[in-house]
Amino acid sequence: MINKNYLSLSESYIFEKLKRDAASFRAGNPQCVLYDLSIGDVCGPLPECAADALAASSLEMKNKNTFRGYGPAEGYSDLREAICGYYRRRGVSLELDEVFVTDGTKPAVFDFLSLFSGVNSLVPEPTYPVFAEASLMHGFGVNRCFFDDGSPHTPENAHIPRDPIGAPYLIFLCSPNNPDGYALSRSELASWVDHAEKTGSLILFDAAYERFITSADVPHSVFELMGSRKLAVEFGSFSKFAGFTGLRCGWCVVPRELRVDNYSLNSLFRRALCTSSNGVSYPSQRAALGVLCEQGLSECSAFADYFRGNSRILADAFARISRGITGGENSPYLWVRTPRGVGGDEFAEILLRAAHVLVTPSSGFGRHDGEHFRVSCLCDRETAKNAAESVLNNAEKLLI
């Protein structure tokens, strides 16, 4: 009776476990302040344009004449038009019916995977745990390929198996990558597109951190690459972009020419959504529309700059006790290598006890080398400063 695929998951989702760890630390140490740099949750507030639109649309629900019931499963057309406009700024042209409003990357990935059966996923690691877990829950094979920390992520240096056993794949790419902040350059992403074409694979591109990109050579969308429209879908999210982790709104782009076994994935995805969803709430969609005006976008850039400031403060502190740090430039995460001889899980525990700083060990992002931990810089400035100070003040204990 039970879906046995679910039994292959670990006992807890990593961020649920970390929330429990934070609660138990607070309960056991009421005199201490905990600096929680684990889950990548933003500190807010919402950009003003989004907050105003949210308030106005909530009031519309109070009035019989402006009340909204079910909206379109794929989202209101003015928001989808604004998302198309956002892509046009980068020279990417999309049709309105290629854009689906979602309530975030997780549910969109789930709905999208439901279009497949008997397939293998290719999951470069370390990466967002949802890709492998969602694949397992759908009964797919999961092939992992490893990103070596610090070296460029290209098919040539073995991040894609040379002999692609198990292809065609659903290839999950997250760029800038959660957790190590690595952002694929145009030529690296082009290699993945070539690889997908050669192996008949499909790229599922997670662009949740695109607003943090500062490097000129890093594409913001897989659709900036020639030939990608027939082999990629893209997931976007307002969560980290505009502080929507609590509000929920994102999007998924499924190009019309994308076909598998001669079926249109755009039509199948639309069909699946109509059954699985009644759309994202009207106020969330109005708030998202508020983000996509000039003022909203400039507020979002300031939001990303603020977190970049946190990254600098935290990177300076962690540099004192680690064997190397990546990330922070194009993403709100630092990927920190533990001091010699200490594993990621063990060091996260030491950091919590000695400096009261909670981070996510690399074991949460797959079967990586186990020698890293992720620091989320999405906290407020005071937390970043205090956490950095606590790391520095306790450096001796941390280096033992």
Among residues 128 and 244, whose Cβ is nearest to ligand MLT? 128
By CB under 6 A, tell whether 15 contacts ligand MLT: yes
**Cα(318)–Cα(328) distance, integer angstroms:** 12
Among 178, 284, 285, 362, binds ligand MLT (CB under 6 A): 178
**Cα(109)–Cα(176) distance, integer angstroms:** 18
Instruction: Name the DSSP letter for residue 89.
Output: T
Determine contact, residues 193/314, Cβ cutoff 8 Å.
no
Among residues 15 and 306, whose Cβ is nearest to ligand MLT? 15
Determine contact, residues 192/160, Cβ cutoff 8 Å.
yes
User: Which residues make Cβ contacts (< 8 Å) with residue 125, sequence separation at least 6?
Assistant: 144, 145, 146, 147, 365, 366, 367, 368
User: Which residues make Cβ contacts (< 8 Å) with residue 43, sequence separation at least 6?
Assistant: 378, 379, 380, 383
Determine contact, residues 208/105, Cβ cutoff 8 Å.
yes
Among residues 104 and 219, whose Cβ is nearest to ligand MLT? 104
Looking at residue 397, its amino acid is: K
> In the structure encoding, which two tokens stand for residue 194, read together?
């070539």
| Least Cβ distance, residue 42 to ligand MLT (angstroms) | 9
Among residues 133 and 299, whose Cβ is nearest to ligand MLT? 133
By CB under 6 A, tell whether 243 contacts ligand MLT: no
Among residues 228 and 326, whose Cβ is nearest to ligand MLT? 326
Among residues 237 and 266, whose Cβ is nearest to ligand MLT? 237
196 forms beta bridges with none
> Taking CB under 6 A as the criterion, which residues in 125-144 touch ligand MLT?
128
Among residues 42 and 50, whose Cβ is nearest to ligand MLT? 42
**CA 79 to chain centroid:** 21
Q: If you write DSSP's letter for every residue of 129-183 in order, what string do you get?
A: HHHHHHHHHTT-EEEEEEPPTTS---GGGTTS-SS-TT-SEEEEEESS-TTT---
By CB under 6 A, tell whether 175 contacts ligand MLT: no
Residue 197 backbone zone (phi > 0: left; psi -120 to 50: alpha; other: beta):
alpha
Among 35, 40, 311, 336, binds ligand MLT (CB under 6 A): 40
By CB under 6 A, tell whether 342 contacts ligand MLT: no
| Total chain residues near ligand MLT (CB under 6 A) | 5
By CB under 6 A, tell whether 177 contacts ligand MLT: no
Among residues 39 and 293, whose Cβ is nearest to ligand MLT? 39
Among 19, 22, 26, 39, binds ligand MLT (CB under 6 A): 39
Integer CA distances (angstroms), 322 to 181, 295, 350, 352, in order: 17, 39, 13, 15
| Least Cβ distance, residue 274 to ligand MLT (angstroms) | 25
Determine contact, residues 166/120, Cβ cutoff 8 Å.
yes
Among residues 13 and 197, whose Cβ is nearest to ligand MLT? 13
| Least Cβ distance, residue 174 to ligand MLT (angstroms) | 10
Residue of this chain nearest to ligand MLT (CB atom) = 40
By CB under 6 A, tell whether 102 contacts ligand MLT: no
101 forms beta bridges with 251
Residue numbers of the site for ligand MLT (CB under 6 A)? Answer: 15, 39-40, 128, 178
